[in-house]
Structure 1
Amino acid sequence: MQYRPLGRSHLKVSALCLGTMTWGEQNTQSEAFAQIDRARDAGVNFIDTAEMYPVPPRGETYTATETIIGNYFRERGNRDKWILASKIAGPNRDMRHIRGGQTRFNREHLTAALDASLQRLHTDYIDLYQLHWPDRSTNMFGDLGYRHDLDEQLTPIEESLEVLDEMVQAGKIRHIGVSNETPWGVSRFLHLAETRGWPRIVSVQNPYNLLNRSYEVGLAEMSMREQTGLLAYSPLAFGTLTGKYLNGLRPDKARLTQFSRFIRYTNPEAQSACARYVQLARDHGMDPAQMALAFVTRQPFVTSNIIGATNMDQLNRNLSSINMGLSDAILEAIAAIHRSQPNPAP
């Protein structure tokens, strides 16, 4: 396993991070425990979750994932072996089961969310506490068109950072990060940290994969120059880059089979590009998923690649990707596909 600095902190996290958003929905607690043990055996020391998980988010399963992780720590007693990341849910996503559906990054909601997460996770502190998406309307979750709303009610970033600073000082969280953010948002967080003495973000958790490399425009430079590395989520584009959904296939129990809402990577252009990447991997005797993961992990602006799995075979193959090198021929072919079909799934 490789280990990389988490921003400008003293922490070093594994280049592969264990994702958890299926636990409590597609995975049972016993399956989740087995995944944690297997990842730890492979050298993974970084685990990412969220109060919102599992997905799809619904009231009946809300908080199940954090509860499972907390049960693991309580039973195993090895909390100190893990760098733990979680997230507070943001506003405007029609989730009335989370604090009445009006979640904001203000004192009331930050305090309520963090205290509840700490209780569920059976821990006194969270190593990396992240804002799951911006407390403002912006282009995220596949929406590239920014539309400004002069009348929008939002929580000022200053207010959020002031509260987060108090939480750091109290020892409840060690570091902060953002997710689904834009270059403007990242720069604003950094500016306020520098000028006000508030905590500096150490990471940005955004989507990044062969079908969506939009992070490279603007945010990659920010990550390199400001040491705010990417925690890449959806590195397999909801599993499409494995090739298992090509030609209309819908395997039993697979995510896109069970949940119709996950359509971000299923448009015809994305499917066309996906087929080319899958064929490229097979032509070079590689597993398509491992090629896709290896491409993400090797990027210099990536701190950690968040892998997820619904069964142990998937997890083992994902973990093995850390040892996969990509030849110049493969990298040149990936670049050629990207030039001809750039970011088909925003």
Structure 2
Amino acid sequence: MLANKSCALIRMSTRHPSCNQRSLATKAHASDRVLLGDSDLNVSVLCLGTMTFGKQNTEKEAHEQLSYTVDQGVNFLAEMYPVPTEASTQGATDRYIGTWLQSQKRDSLIVASKVCGYSERTTWVRDPPQTTRVNKDQVLESVDKSLKRLKTEYLDLLQIHWPDRYVPLFGASSYDIKNERKGDISFEEQLRALEEVVKAGKVRYIGVSNETSYGVAEFVHQAKLAGLPKIVSIQNSYSLLVRTQYETDLAEICSKHNVGLLAYSPLAGGSLSNKYNDGTAQTGSRFNLFPGYMGRYNASLVKTAVSEYSALAKKHGLTPSELALAWCKSRWFVASTIIGATTMQQLKENFGAFEKELSNECVEDVNTIYKKYRDPTLS
């Protein structure tokens, strides 16, 4: 269905029946559909990531990817995209999608976006520049600007890009009470801000991203107490290298409250393709183009684990990327897997991975490697 960060497009289709997320393990096509959480958003199990649009991909290339994907996928992005983020390119991804949208039938697509959580670094997202927060004024500004860039009147899904409160993010492994901040926007206040755009007809459903079990529980609880909109999705990192956080308590609570997982970085920034280990990565590849970006995927233990997963893939007649993407698709709790590509060749190869099914032996072999390395990206 969707893709990386704030805006997503999903083509509705009658070619494949709807299914709940627990039946996904039997699905074999990127265009198979699943209902996202307890919404009526019927999304594909593959989501096209678009965070390279405006940084690594031109508008023409973006349109080519979108057109190729439209019969079977989606895209996702956030209000500050593309990434790595900077003021000069902020919103470019939305604009590229917006110009493409003009030639599409809007009511056959699902469009999603994001609103930034707390950040003192992305102040340029707001006008005037200020610390980003999930409050009424900023949610309204974020949505209105996204709608203008996307050239559409409503969003089908709006997610909070990362929590307004302090949580360990992007490779941090433990919670440190010393990092807690005063003045957090309460869960109820955030939901009331999101309710404003829902009531105005600008947003149909809401969700979260980079969230914890505590956050999911509080959002669901406060929505029930105050009769506010309920979250239907969570967009968190999930891959062969990043499993533990979601597979334990998050899987349980999201299942109990019917919150669908949109798994991002299933190739761990491209590292699970093994191209950085075997020397085939091009100069324009993400980690070569942006040294230090997502450095957690360049750790020596990560590279060792990737090598073992690559050998395992070969054993079972798969490419490293096919193993990684087929793994995500096969998990019962994954509603949609977000893939990204900078070339059409990469995009087509990623689509092909969704045709692969993992044998029981392959799954057992994956878990054997997992027991050795767990989540090697965590600091």
Q: TM-score range by the shorter chain?
A: over 0.9
Which residue does the alignment assign to 2:269?
238
Matched, 1:70 2:98: yes
Number of equivalent positions:
343
TM-score normalised over the length of structure 1: 0.96
> Segments of 4+ in structure 1 off by > 3 A?
247-250
- Which residue of the partner structure matches residue 78 of structure 2? 50
Is 1:102 aligned to 2:131, yes or no?
Answer: yes
Question: Would you say the 8 A contact 1:245–1:251 is kept in 2?
Answer: no
CA contact (8 A) 2:120 2:132 kept: no
Say if 1:78 and 1:145 are closer, same or farther in 2 by CA, change over 3 A: same
- 1:335 aligns with 367
Distance 1:173 1:310, change over 3 A: same
Q: C-alpha root-mean-square deviation of aligned residues, in Å?
A: 1.3
The answer to whether the aligner puts 1:313 opposite 2:342 as a matched pair is no
Work out the CA distance in 2 between the residues paired with 1:193 and 1:262.
34
Q: 1:46-91 deviations in whole A, cap 9, x for unaligned?
A: 32111011000001101000011111112x1322222111101122
Say which of 227, 232, 236 aligns to 2:258: 227
Report the alpha carbon displacement of residue 151 of structure 1 after superposing the two structures with TM: 4.9
Q: Letter of the 2:376 partner, please give it.
A: P
Alignment partner for residue 137 of structure 1, among 138, 157, 166?
166
Q: Which residue of 2 aligns with 1:213?
A: 243
Task: Indicate conservation of the 8 Å contact 1:176/1:199, yes or no.
Answer: yes
Structure 1 residue 249, shift from structure 2 partner: 6.0
User: Structure 1 residues 139-148 or 47-56, which shifts more?
Assistant: 139-148
* Correspondence 1:126 to 2:172: no
Q: Is 1:156 aligned with 2:186?
A: yes
Within the candidate set 291, 297, 316, 1:284 is matched to: 316
- What one-letter code is carried by the residue in structure 2 that aligns with 1:73? L
Instruction: Return the alpha-carbon distance in structure 2 between the equivalents of residues 223 and 120 of structure 1.
Output: 32
Counterpart in 2 of 1:304?
Answer: 336
Question: Structure 2 unaligned runs (5+)?
Answer: 1-30
What is the aligned partner in structure 1 of residue 35 from structure 2?
5
Name which of structure 1's ranges 51-60 and 88-97 shifts more when overlaid on structure 2: 88-97
Q: How far apart, CA to CA, are the structure 2 residues paired with 1:318 and 1:70?
A: 24
Please name the residue that 2:56 is paired with.
26
For the residue of structure 1 that corresponds to 2:117, the secondary structure is: coil
Question: TM-score, normalization: structure 2?
Answer: 0.88
Q: Which range is displaced more, 257-266 or 187-196? A: 257-266
CA contact 2:322–2:350 (8 Å) conserved in 1 = yes
Indicate if the aligned counterparts of 1:69 and 1:121 stay in contact, CA closer than 8 A: yes
Retained in 2: the 8 A contact 1:47–1:82? no
Change beyond 3 A, Cα 1:151–1:325 = closer
User: Which piece of structure 1 moves more, 261-270 or 109-118?
Assistant: 261-270
Tell me if the contact between 2:123 and 2:132 (Cα under 8 Å) persists in the aligned partners.
no
Q: State the 1:247 CA deviation.
A: 5.2
Unaligned runs of 5+ in 1: none
